[in-house]
Structure 1
Amino acid sequence: MITLKLATSLDGRIATASGESRWITGPAAREQTHRLRAAHDAVLIGVETAIADDPALTVRLESYSGPQPARIILDSRQRLPRAGRLAGTARDIPTYVVTTRPLDPILAEAGLRPVLAPDLGEGRPDLVEVVALLKAAGLSRLFVEGGGQVAASFLRCGLVDRLEWFRAPLVIGGEGRPAIGALALTALSAAPRLRRVDIQALGDDIWERYERI
Structure 2
Amino acid sequence: MPVTLKLATSLDGRIATAAGESRWITGEDSREAVHWLRAEHDAVLVGIETVLADDPELTVRLPGYDGPQPARVVLDSRQRLSPTCKFVRTAREVPTYVVATTEPDPALVAAGVKVLTVRGLGEDRPELKTVVEALAGEGLSRLFVEGGGQVAASFVRCGLVDALEWFRAPILIGGEGRPGLGALAVASLAEAPHFRRVEVREVGLDLWERYARV
SS in 1 for 2:123: coil
Tell me, in whole angstroms, the C-alpha distance in 1 between the residues paired with 2:17 and 2:91: 30
Counting only pairs closer than 5 Å after superposition, residues 43-82 of structure 1 correspond to structure 2 as: 43-82=44-83
* Superposition TM-score, scaled by structure 1 size: 0.98
- 1:115 CA displacement: 1.2
- 1:82 CA displacement: 1.3
Q: What do residues 162-199 of structure 1 show as CA deviations (whole Å, max 9, x unaligned)?
A: 00000001011111100000111111111110000000
* Equivalence for 1:187: 188
Gaps of 5+ in 2: none
Tell me, in whole angstroms, the C-alpha distance in 2 between the residues paired with 1:209 and 1:96: 28
Tell me, in whole angstroms, the C-alpha distance in 1 between the residues paired with 2:117 and 2:194: 31
Higher mean C-alpha displacement, 187-196 vs 115-124 = 115-124
1:23 aligned to 2:8? no
* Equivalence for 2:12: 11
* Equivalence for 1:198: 199
Counting only pairs closer than 5 Å after superposition, residues 163-178 of structure 1 correspond to structure 2 as: 163-178=164-179
SS in 2 for 1:118: coil
Tell me, in whole angstroms, the C-alpha distance in 2 between the residues paired with 1:16 and 1:79: 25
Q: What do residues 104-129 of structure 1 show as CA deviations (whole Å, max 9, x unaligned)?
A: 11111111101111011210111001
* Equivalence for 1:115: 116
SS in 2 for 1:122: helix
Tell me, in whole angstroms, the C-alpha distance in 2 between the residues paired with 1:82 and 1:148: 25
Tell me, in whole angstroms, the C-alpha distance in 1 between the residues paired with 2:80 and 2:175: 29
Counting only pairs closer than 5 Å after superposition, residues 139-154 of structure 1 correspond to structure 2 as: 139-154=140-155
Tell me, in whole angstroms, the C-alpha distance in 2 between the residues paired with 1:135 and 1:62: 30
Identity %: 64
* Superposition TM-score, scaled by structure 2 size: 0.98
- 1:136 CA displacement: 1.1
Gaps of 5+ in 1: none
- 1:7 CA displacement: 0.3
| 4+ long deviations beyond 6 Å | none
Q: What do residues 40-84 of structure 1 show as CA deviations (whole Å, max 9, x unaligned)?
A: 000000000001110000000102110000000000011112111
Tell me, in whole angstroms, the C-alpha distance in 2 between the residues paired with 1:93 and 1:202: 29
* Equivalence for 1:37: 38
Tell me, in whole angstroms, the C-alpha distance in 1 between the residues paired with 2:156 and 2:56: 23
Q: What RMSD in Å do the two structures reach over aligned CA positions? A: 0.7
Tell me, in whole angstroms, the C-alpha distance in 1 between the residues paired with 2:185 and 2:39: 33
Count of residue correspondences: 213
SS in 2 for 1:173: coil
- 1:155 CA displacement: 0.2
- 1:10 CA displacement: 0.4
| AA of the residue aligned to 1:152 | A
* Equivalence for 1:156: 157
Tell me, in whole angstroms, the C-alpha distance in 2 between the residues paired with 1:20 and 1:157: 29
SS in 1 for 2:122: coil
* Equivalence for 2:129: 128
SS in 2 for 1:103: coil
Tell me, in whole angstroms, the C-alpha distance in 1 between the residues paired with 2:15 and 2:109: 32
| AA of the residue aligned to 1:37 | R
| AA of the residue aligned to 1:85 | K
